[in-house]
Amino acid sequence: MEDVDPPREVAGAADTILRQLEAHGLHWDEPVLYQSQRLEAYREALEHLRRQCLIFPCRCPRARLRSLGGVYDGLCRQTELSGELSVSDTAIRLVCLEQVINWQDLIRGACQTDLGTEVGDFIVRRRDGLIAYQLAVSVDDAYQNITHVIRGDDLLSSTPKQIHILQLLGQKTPDYGHIPVIQDSRGYKLSKQSFAPAIDSTTPASNLYQCLSLLGLAPPRELSGSSCEVLLQWAIPRWQRALLPSAPIRVNSLESGSKKPPGE
């Protein structure tokens, strides 16, 4: 549970997510791991990277960072990281030299990113002292012995960063597979930012039925009134990566999500 960003968290959201999963018949096989309980592990990972001289403090003003167009130029790389692990108001970046990360994505096939030219030294601890998402999830994937990361392709650009962190920490990398995300009619992914309504947990079976269709499984019509358990039992042996759509999934109005964004 990614709860290391208190300023952006909605009270009760973590619990809502778990209840939504349960409502849809989706269960987890180990206790839920909360990132807010893992700060010591993230600090140890930073120490590990510091000992290899792979992280450095960066106090570049935002305006300068904006002028770089997203790829950090390494200006602060020579600055020594002394007490900054505990100091706030300083971002900590990970050195990314010319280094090509290759991986075989289970869904998208061969992928390649040049960290030096396409990503640049990226942030592993934020200026406000909070641990960056990339570091936290990598450390947690290793800790939980995750073998497969299957997620939306909006996170594709995170993958080379996470592989890089895991390699530097001497950990195995999981297999990754990125599924096209559902977009609204304007091409935005369904999210809080695009004012998509929350999933309606009062209609879990019809939500699942719709998702199975979008995933290319073509569930028969007679299954449309079935329970979540029946739908999942039908779907699991029929799941095939080859059936997934290769482009973003556009929907004009999802059955349970047809509310219009404010102002439209």
Q: Using CB under 5 A as the criterion, what x/- string covers residues 150-189 for binding Zn ion?
A: ----------------------------------------
Piece of 19-27, 55-63, 205-213, 222-230 that binds Zn ion (CB under 5 A) = 55-63
Distance separating alpha carbons of residues 129 and 120, to the nearest angstrom: 20
Piece of 60-68, 103-111, 159-167, 254-262 that binds Zn ion (CB under 5 A) = 60-68
To Zn ion, the closest distance from the beta carbon of 160 in angstroms equals 21
Q: Which of residues 74-113 bind Zn ion (CB under 5 A)?
A: 75-76
Distance separating alpha carbons of residues 124 and 15, to the nearest angstrom: 27
The SS3 assignment for 98 reads coil
Distance separating alpha carbons of residues 56 and 92, to the nearest angstrom: 6
Q: Which is nearer to Zn ion, 76 or 124 (CB)?
A: 76
Radius of gyration of the chain (CA): 21
To Zn ion, the closest distance from the beta carbon of 120 in angstroms equals 11
Q: Which listed residue (4, 46, 55, 58) binds Zn ion by CB under 5 A? A: 58
Output the CA–CA distances (angstroms, integers) from residue 73 to 37, 70, 94, 116, 118, in the order listed.
34, 9, 12, 9, 11
Q: Which is nearer to Zn ion, 58 or 215 (CB)?
A: 58
In the complex, the residues that contact Zn ion under the rule CB under 5 A are 58, 60, 75-76
